[in-house]
Amino acid sequence: MLRGGKLLVLTGPAGVGKGTVEVALRKKHPEVWVSVSATTRDPRPGEVNGVNYWFLSEEEFADKEKAGEFLETALVHGLAHYGTLLQPLVDHMSVGTPTILEIDLQGARRVKEKAAELGLEVVTVFIAPPSFDELVRRLTNRGTETEEQRKRRLETAHVELAAEHEFDVTIVNDDVNRAADQLWDIIAKEYGKEA
Ligand code: 5GP
């Protein structure tokens, strides 16, 4: 049951360090659950199926979409499909687990639209870079992407940065631990936990 559930939706441009902030948060507060999305993109070195993502073929993804297994889906960077699986979300939220979705801008908008229909309370959090130059530097240093992929990600980043005002809260990721603490403060407030 999602009714009455609270959901934290985390969005921010590629390279902003959302993943690192989540890891820092979960280290301090392992009771937080971060939803594992499905994607049709290839795994990056070190990524594990079922941990970072469920890596699916286009066909598998389309079948799940048809079967209504997603809360939302999006084509990200015009390159690959991503989607939030509904059942694990229901399982965690039904027992009151603080739940985070780390999804793109389109996904965040869709979840917000669907929230009322599903009886979900959603808090949207935008993770922002200290500056655009810093974001470019982080993306360039990642080194796991082709020039074309980097270009796409920067284009998407421009669009996402311009949408910051749509979010309930902005956290600037200039220090990972501080950003993680700020995220926890939001969870603590929403779930009535100790800050
Ligand atoms: P990456 O390929 O770098 O892991 O993720 C690319 C983008 O896809 C990120 O902005 C990430 O937030 C977004 N993303 C990951 N999972 C989902 C999902 O389930 N739904 C949507 N809409 N976006 C997602």
Nearest atom in ligand 1 to the alpha carbon of residue 12 is 10
The Cα 52–Cα 100 span in angstroms is 14
pLDDT band of 116, cuts 50, 70, 90: confident
| Whole-number average pLDDT of the chain | 91
Q: Please tell me the predicted confidence (pLDDT) of residue 154.
A: 85
pLDDT at 111: 96
Give pLDDT, residue 35: 97
Residue 2 lies in a domain: no
Place of tokens 């979300």: 89
Rounded to the nearest angstrom, the distance between the alpha carbon of 149 and the centre of ligand 1 is: 14
pLDDT (average), residues 108-120: 89
Tokens representing 128? Answer: 């922002």
Using the predicted structure, report yes or no on whether residue 1 has a pLDDT greater than 60: no
Whose CA is closest to atom 21 on ligand 1?
Answer: 103
φ/ψ of residue 179, rounded to 5: -60, -40
pLDDT value at residue 130: 92
Three-state secondary structure call for residue 30? coil
Measure CA 170 to chain center: 14
Chain segment 74-84, per-residue pLDDT in tens:
998 788 999 99
Instruction: Give the pLDDT confidence score for residue 147 in this predicted structure.
Output: 85
CB of 111 within 8 A of CB of 122?
A: yes
Average pLDDT estimate for 114-123: 87
* Helix/strand/coil for 88: helix
- Residue 138: band (very low, low, confident or very high) from pLDDT cuts 50, 70, 90: confident
Torsion 145-146-152-154 (CA) sign = positive
- pLDDT at site 115: 87
- At residue 3, the pLDDT reads 63
How many whole angstroms from 102 Cα to the centroid of ligand 1?
7
Once rounded to an integer, what is the mean pLDDT over residues 116-145?
A: 86
Res 98: pLDDT = 94
Q: Quick one: which atom of ligand 1 is closest to the CA of 84?
A: 19
Residue of 52, 76, 77 with the most ligand 1 atoms within 8 Å of its CB, for mutation: 76
CATH code: domain of residue 64: 3.40.50.300
Does residue 56 form part of some domain?
yes
Does 117 reside within a domain?
A: yes
Mean pLDDT of the region 23-27: 96
Give domain status of residue 153, yes or no: yes
Strands 38-39 and 33-34, sheet pairing: unpaired
Q: Do the domain assignments include residue 22?
A: yes
Cα-to-centroid distance, 20 and ligand 1 (Å)? 14
**Residues with Cβ within 6 A of ligand 1?**
14, 37, 41, 72, 74, 76, 82-84, 102-104, 106-107
Q: Are strands 38-39 and 54-55 parallel, antiparallel or unpaired?
A: parallel
Substitution candidate for ligand 1 out of 61, 104, 154 with most atoms within 8 A of CB: 104
Does residue 104 fall inside a structural domain? Answer: yes
- Does residue 30 register a pLDDT over 70? yes
Quote the domain boundaries for residue 63: 7-191
40-87: per-residue pLDDT in tens?
999 999 999 999 999 999 999 999 999 999 999 999 878 899 999 999
Q: 83: CA distance to ligand 1 center in Å? A: 8
Share of the chain residues as helix, strand and coil, in percent rounded to the nearest 5 = 45, 20, 35
Number of domains in the chain: 1
Say whether pLDDT at 143 is over 80. Answer: no
Model pTM above 0.85: yes
- Can you tell me which atom of ligand 1 is nearest the CA of 38? 19
Decide if 113 is inside a domain.
yes
Between the CA of 156 and the centroid of ligand 1 the distance, in Å, is 11
Q: Residue 109: inside a domain, yes or no?
A: yes
